[in-house]
Amino acid sequence: MNERCVLVIAVMLVASLAMNYLPAYAANAGMNATVLNTAPTVHVELAPDDMPETPGVQVINPDPTTNKTVTITATVTDKNGYDDIISVIANITGPSIVEDSPVSLHLDSVINVTTAVYKGTFNLSNHSEGDYKVDVTAKDKGGLTGVGSKNFTYLYGVAVVTYDFKKGAGTDKWAYGYQHNAKPPATNDVPDIEFKRWHYELISKDDEIMKIDFTRDDGYYAIHRFKFDIAEPETSIKKLDVLWKGMGAIWGTCGATLYIWNFKTGEYEQLDRKTDVFMTLEGSITENIGDYIDDNGSLIIIVEQNSPQWSFWWLTFRSYIGTDYVRVNVTYAPKHGTAAGMVRRVSGTGVKNGNLRW
């Protein structure tokens, strides 16, 4: 065997040894490798949310002299296992000091080998209104920490003021009739014939006794317009609820349509429509509320019969509208210590669903 052959055999032997032993070495090396520690991640939720229709978490305390309990739920994930977590602590900051802070959260449930849920509570009473923040810090055995945060707004309560014609008719609320030739009108000042005093009495109660108007001209719709002076600041109003009860009749499409005036767009928006003779129409505004109340506090709604008056030979088919009861409920968040400014012109049925304290 020559030297060249010996060299080839030697190289083959080395290659064979490498193929047989190197994989085993790599496998053993992998089993002995150290997994690096990573910081936990934290997701925070708060309860209750007393006004879910408003973005964010709103904690409302109708009586700020009593405790309002807030629950913190923290979902913590650690790649080294949920049992690698040694502490989960919440700190609450805001316009005033929260005495319960910091709060130690306890293990509530296990989702999987890396994730668990921790919970804790704190109380609010006689605290300043405003925006607060909850920072939850999770610490693991290796000394690494993860932080999750959640903001909430603390308010003293929500009140509902009802504007109807039991009081203040012709002073801070008005009603007008009787016909118009467009549906809806292009402006918010028609019709402009104000109800008489005894007409206001007819629409002040839900008793099926109505103020009825009918048209005199073809192509005109029977219509009632209502204007309310809203006392609450626009920025504190959370919701407007409009209700009208009455009748709409004609030889044609019966019923009526409820509209509200949008001061920003300069036109009416439809809230509800029905084709029954006797009906209740309703609608709510929860967004961009300032668009529906002008700088003087005016809110305007109309109810218009669905069809205009028409004639056939000597027959005239008039459009009828009758109002039994109409009201606007204003839901708002009062500001502590500002009672005089909040109710300066309220003359409806008063405050409901809110134990207000100033």
Token pair belonging to 291: 């668009």
Token pair belonging to 116: 């668990």
Q: What is the full DSSP assignment across 27-69?
A: HHHHHTPPPPP---EEEEEEE--S-TTSSSEEEE-SSTTS-EE
Low-confidence winner among 128-142, 156-170, 182-196, 312-326 (lowest mean pLDDT): 156-170
pLDDT band at 62 (very low <50, low <70, confident <90, very high): confident
Low-confidence winner among 25-39, 132-146, 168-182, 299-313 (lowest mean pLDDT): 25-39
Low-confidence winner among 48-57, 161-170, 324-333, 339-348 (lowest mean pLDDT): 339-348
φ and ψ of 228, to 5 deg = -120, 140
Mean pLDDT of 72-77: 98
The answer on pLDDT for 347 being more than 70 is no
In angstroms, the CA 231 to CA 136 distance is: 41
* 298 CB-near residues (< 8 Å, 6+ apart): 227, 228, 229, 230
What is the C-alpha R_g of the chain? Answer: 35
In angstroms, the CA 268 to CA 222 distance is: 16
Per-residue model confidence (pLDDT) at position 66: 87
Question: 144-189: per-residue pLDDT in tens?
Answer: 999 999 999 998 877 889 999 999 999 999 999 999 999 999 999 9
Fold entry, domain 160-352: Jelly Rolls (2.60.120)
Mean pLDDT of 59-82: 92
The answer on pLDDT for 29 being more than 50 is no
Question: 117-130: per-residue pLDDT in tens?
Answer: 999 999 999 899 89
Per-residue model confidence (pLDDT) at position 235: 86
In angstroms, the CA 313 to CA 297 distance is: 48
| Domain locations along the chain | 41-157, 160-352
Token pair belonging to 131: 């925006």
* 16 CB-near residues (< 8 Å, 6+ apart): none
Would the pTM of this model clear 0.75, i.e. be above it?
Answer: no
How much of the chain exceeds pLDDT 70, in percent? 83
* Average pLDDT of every residue of the chain: 86
Nearest of 107, 143, 216, 160 to residue 328 by alpha carbon: 160
Mean pLDDT of 40-62: 90
The answer on pLDDT for 358 being more than 80 is no
pLDDT band at 354 (very low <50, low <70, confident <90, very high): very low
Exposure letters 8-19 (e unless 16+ CB within 10 A, then b)? eeeeeeeeeeee
Question: 225-276: per-residue pLDDT in tens?
Answer: 999 999 999 988 989 999 999 999 999 899 999 999 999 999 999 999 999 9
Per-residue model confidence (pLDDT) at position 335: 63
The answer on pLDDT for 314 being more than 80 is yes
Exposure letters 149-164 (e unless 16+ CB within 10 A, then b)? ebebbbbbbbbbbbbb
Token pair belonging to 349: 């049925």
Low-confidence winner among 13-27, 34-48, 316-330 (lowest mean pLDDT): 13-27
Per-residue model confidence (pLDDT) at position 346: 37
The CATH number of domain 41-157, selected from 2.60.40.3880, 3.40.640.10, 1.10.3480.10, 3.30.450.40: 2.60.40.3880
C-beta of residue 78 within 8 angstroms of C-beta of residue 140 = yes
In angstroms, the CA 343 to CA 351 distance is: 10
The answer on pLDDT for 65 being more than 80 is yes
